[in-house]
Amino acid sequence: MNAPPPGWYPDQADPRYVRWWDGRQWTPHVQPAQQPAPPQADVSALEVSFGSTGDPASVQQQVQQRAGVGGPVAGGGGTLFTEPILVINQKAKLIEMSNEYAIYDQHGRQLGSVVQVGQSGAQKALRAFTKLDTLMSVKLEIRDITGRPVLLLTRPPQLIKGTVHVQRPDQTPIGDVKLANFWGKARFDFEVGGQRIGGLQAENLRAWDIKVLDHADQEIGKITKTWQGFAKAAFTTADNYVLQLHRPLQDPLLSMVLSSALTFDTVFSQHQ
């Protein structure tokens, strides 16, 4: 029978210690046994959800009463890129460490979602307990109802002014949504290939209503921040928006506009 190789082994007399075996016999040398490292805390466990998101009656109320849409708007093909009205509801959480949204049509049918990806545990902790997460990159995936990414949004680390890069799922660049001013009524520009093709213009300082503009600053849509009740507003950080398109749009403007409500929340609201 082969003897064990030299090394530290549990002391049979006291399991709190280990004793050195020299390969032939036990020696008088002992030392405290290393305690197993405590399991790393799962920071995401602190991210407690608050209530449910987007039942059809609630979504329709957002559209008709809070966003002022008188009745169902005709048109739409049942996808993120074809509906004239999209309702974007951020998942309500008591402690928020990542961005997460659900996207519905005007009738309350879910069309897709938005998920923050590539976030480390350290970033989640900074998000939960400090404001330093604005110095880190934020990556969002806009996904269709099957979970397939259709657009990628990346906000690089920033101090004051913000830019969000919009890409195809294969990371082909589409354009940038740039915060044009920080003080006063917020304004964003859509830039594709270095050219401005439209933008966003807040109608008030609190940014409850935002105009969506084309390259000639003609209004082609509207984003309305909607109220979800005192309980959620008081105890969570959730923001909810209704995006209305006044006419069908073509790419790349369509993709830039679709990204705009999420950009507005990610860049502007996170700064406030």
Q: pTM of whole model > 0.75?
A: no
Domain parsing of the chain, residue ranges? 1-36, 47-271
Sign, CA dihedral 258-262-263-268, equals positive
- In this prediction, residue 75 carries a pLDDT of 76
- Contact in structure between 173 and 180 (CB atoms under 8 Å): no
- In this prediction, residue 172 carries a pLDDT of 96
Q: Which of 86, 2, 130, 81 is nearest to 252 (CA)?
A: 81
- In this prediction, residue 62 carries a pLDDT of 73
Q: Please report, in tens digits, the pLDDT of each residue of the chain (272 residues total).
A: 456 778 887 776 676 778 888 878 888 888 887 655 444 444 444 454 444 456 777 777 777 666 667 667 777 788 999 999 888 887 765 444 567 888 988 888 899 998 888 866 665 555 555 555 556 778 899 999 999 999 999 988 765 567 899 999 999 999 999 988 867 788 899 999 999 999 999 887 665 788 999 999 999 999 988 765 433 443 334 568 889 999 999 999 999 999 987 777 666 555 44
Q: Between vectors from CA 151 to CA 80 and to CA 130, what angle results, nearest 5°? A: 110
Buried b / exposed e across 74-113, counting CB within 10 Å, b at 16+?
A: eebeeebbebbbbbbbbbbbebbbbbbbbbbbbebebbbb
Cβ atoms < 10 Å from Cβ of 40: 7
What's the CATH code, domain 47-271? 2.40.160.200
